[in-house]
Chain A
């Protein structure tokens, strides 16, 4: 699919804005966009966000036979993928001019600067060496892919750990991470690319151009440098004539930017190392947004509860005694009185008590009735029978007890009546 064309009005506006030292996103001339470095769950996986540009780098290792002319050196392999996900202008599986340019620049920046000790990647001289492969995937294209790619690649290389290898005689054993700790690559220095775009035949200069600025620029200068201010590669494209002073000024700016970025990378690596050591959330898990609905149901997840009970006890001990609340009458509607609304429900307890009371009352009532019966004299048996039925209907749950009571009372009554009859 074709890329959206750039309209004349955008081009004119951008050039005019650059003349006035203004940029589309409010940055200053030498400002980088907001940079974020995150890591995947595995070693050697790194994401770099540079504004809206997003790049992923994945490092992998493989045991292969070395090259003929370098029998005791490991092999570095770089690959840049421009997928249509990044921009509709990129096509899948075809080497475009841009991807060749980026790939070449990354190789010059990282391999030719000898930032990685390739001799330490040798296992058996002339037979087995490690091939380290760096795959850089563009996830979103908003300009300055080269800087993002170089940062992602070098950070991923710093993050990567290869499995340990043991040699017994002719036998080479690759140990799994459980058996022996994996070994990080030995990296001498970290070359980082910084891009400068030139406008109006080199009159104006911008650092970290965004996509629309890249489209209207006349020329591009990429300087790869490490924090020791050693230039690892320098490339100018676009066919503009640059003065010596301009290149010198660019290299000075680059040295400042590189030291900032190197600091950011080392901080990110340190954070990740600490997170991994603590066994906390790192990599993808950390980048997962919280408080966002991603599923329709919630699955129960296990929660870490190491110090939960201690903390709960602390909270309980340190907590203030809640003030005594007196239930005040509430009148929700005229003619209705209510007490203790919104307080804790204590009905469960009271109910039990009431049950007991009721039973007692029943017994009392029955006793009273008995007494009455005693006082009344005559045709009492039928009344006691009917009373029994009534009890059953009113309190079905206390049937047993009441029936027992009734039975006992009836017995008593029977006894009494018999006595009464005797009296008669």
Chain B
């Protein structure tokens, strides 16, 4: 049923490409008939009953057993539930903070959604501070809402950033490459020098190294990673390692 989709994995698709999900014409009588399911990720849309429409241009990816999505180049972030982002506090009003996360509207973050925060014990957050937070509400019709705690009430890495470091933006594709389980960019970066790196799904990265020079180097290296092949990147990283030491 999804053989057409499976064949195209790893190939470039453009908006308007269609897949038809026709039922197999020959059914085997001996094997039990298993209903096949498919999970559509970003870039694929169901159209009608038996049609799949590609709505973004990029490379088709597949994850076992039946997840398909289109990996594309994009800079505009669209919030999704469960994703972690770096936001900038813009307004402190009453019991909620407003955050800019690079999307079409601002997200709200309750002051109680921090670890150990109570009505008495407010978290120390100023306008302009950076916050690493997770979406719990993100849909078309409602204001996105963020929290800085997990379901057990612990920070678990979320929360307000400390002083220092540099914030910069890259494309969403590079962010996903960095967040992959065995990211090649990150493993190359680890060989250079120690640094703290926070990756927000909204394309914002925060880097802090021991000196301003090193922070700037990492920032520029990551920004230039976007348009380089693996060989070029490794050569550049090697040069940076030699030049910086």
Which residue numbers of A lie inside 8 Å of B, CB to CB? 2, 4-13, 16-17, 20, 22, 24-26
Quick one: given A13-B164, A13-B165, are A6 and B216 in contact (CB under 8 Å)? no
Count A-B contacts at CB 8 Å.
50
Chain A contact residues: over half helix, strand or loop, or mixed? loop
Contact pick for A7, options B102, B128, B215, B219, CB 8 Å = B128
Q: Which of chain A's residues have a CB closer than 8 A to the CB of B161? A: 9
Q: Which residue of A lies closest to B128 (CB)?
A: A8
Bound form: Cα–Cα A110–B164 in Å = 43
Contacts of B212 in A (CB 8 A): 13, 16-17, 20, 22
Q: Least Cβ distance of B98 to chain A in Å? A: 10
Q: Which residue of A lies closest to B161 (CB)?
A: A9
Closest to A8 in B: B128
Given contacts A4-B88, A4-B100, A4-B102, contact A10 B213 (CB under 8 A): no
Between A and B, 29 residue pairs with Cβ closer than 8 Å are A2-B100, A4-B102, A5-B88, A5-B100, A6-B128, A7-B88, A7-B128, A7-B130, A8-B130, A9-B130, A9-B163, A9-B165, A9-B166, A9-B167, A10-B167, A11-B128, A12-B163, A12-B164, A13-B164, A13-B165, A13-B212, A17-B212, A20-B212, A20-B213, A22-B212, A22-B213, A22-B216, A24-B219, A25-B220
Contact B220 A26 (CB under 8 A): yes
Residues 44 to 101 of chain B near chain A (Cβ within 8 Å): 88, 90, 100
A10 / chain B contacts, CB cutoff of 8 Å: 166-167
Counting CB contacts under 8 A, is B150 at the interface?
no
Q: How far is the CB of B77 from chain A (nearest CB, A)?
A: 11
Contacts of A25 in B (CB 8 A): 220
Question: Known contacts A5-B100, A7-B129; is A13 also within 8 Å of B215 by CB?
Answer: yes
Q: Which residues of A contact B130 (CB under 8 A)?
A: 7-9
- Cα-based distance from A111 to B166 in the complex (angstroms): 42
Q: How many residues of B contact A (CB 8 A)?
A: 21
Q: Within the complex, what minimum Cβ distance (angstroms) separates A414 from chain B?
A: 63
**B139, CB-defined interface residue at 8 Å:** no
Q: Which of B88, B126, B164, B215 has the most CB of A within 10 A?
A: B88
Bound-state Cα–Cα, A11 to B166, Å: 9
**Distance from B209 Cβ to chain A, minimum over Cβ atoms (Å):** 11
Residues of B within 8 A of A (CB): 88, 90, 100, 102, 126, 128-130, 161, 163-167, 206, 212-213, 215-216, 219-220
CB proximity of B206 to chain A, nearest CB, Å: 7
CB distance from A16 to the nearest CB of B (A): 6
Q: Which residues of B contact A24 (CB under 8 A)?
A: 216, 219
Q: Which chain A positions have C-beta within 8 A of B165?
A: 9, 13
Enumerate chain A residues within 8 angstroms of B167, measured Cβ to Cβ: 7, 9-10
- With a cutoff of 8 Å between Cβ atoms, the chain B residues found around residue A22 in the complex are 212-213, 216
CB distance from B83 to the nearest CB of A (A): 18
Closest Cβ of chain B to A169, distance in Å, is: 62
Nearest B residue (CB) for A13: B166
Evaluate contact between A5 and B206: CB separation under 8 angstroms.
no
A194 → chain B, closest Cβ, in Å? Answer: 25
Contacts of B219 in A (CB 8 A): 24
Q: A205 to B129: give the CA distance in the assembly, Å.
A: 27
Whole-angstrom distance from the CB of A292 to the nearest CB of chain B?
Answer: 13
- A13 vs B213: C-alpha distance when bound (angstroms): 11
Smallest CB-CB separation from A26: which chain B residue?
Answer: B220
Q: Which residue of A lies closest to B90 (CB)?
A: A5
CA distance A4 to B75 in the complex (A): 14
Question: Which chain A residue shows the least CB distance to B91?
Answer: A5
Assembled-state Cα–Cα distance A2/B88 (Å): 13
Q: In whole angstroms, how far apart are the Cα atoms of A10 and B168 in the complex? A: 9
- The residues of A that contact B215 with a CB separation of less than 8 Å are 13
- Chain B residues with CB below 8 A from A6, complex form: 128
Lowest 5 A-B CB distances belong to which pairs?
A: A8-B128, A13-B166, A7-B88, A5-B88, A17-B212
B131 nearest in chain A by CB position: A7
A411–B30 Cα distance when bound, in Å, is 70
A4-B88, A22-B213 are known contacts; what are 9 more A-B pairs with Cβ within 8 Å? Answer: A5-B90, A5-B100, A5-B128, A6-B128, A7-B88, A8-B126, A8-B129, A9-B164, A17-B212
Q: Are B213 and A9 in contact (CB under 8 A)?
A: no
Instruction: Kindly report which residue of chain A lies nearest to residue B166, judged by CB atoms.
Output: A13
* B-side contacts of A16, CB under 8 Å: 212
User: Judging by beta carbons under 8 Å apart, are B216 and A26 in contact?
Assistant: yes
Inter-chain CA distance A230–B100, complex, in Å, is 46
Name the distance in Å between B107's Cβ and chain A's nearest Cβ: 13
In the bound complex, CA of A4 to CA of B161 (Å)? 18
Return B49 CB to nearest CB of chain A, in Å: 29
**Cα of A22 to Cα of B209 in the assembled complex, Å:** 15
Closest chain A residue to B215, Cβ basis: A13
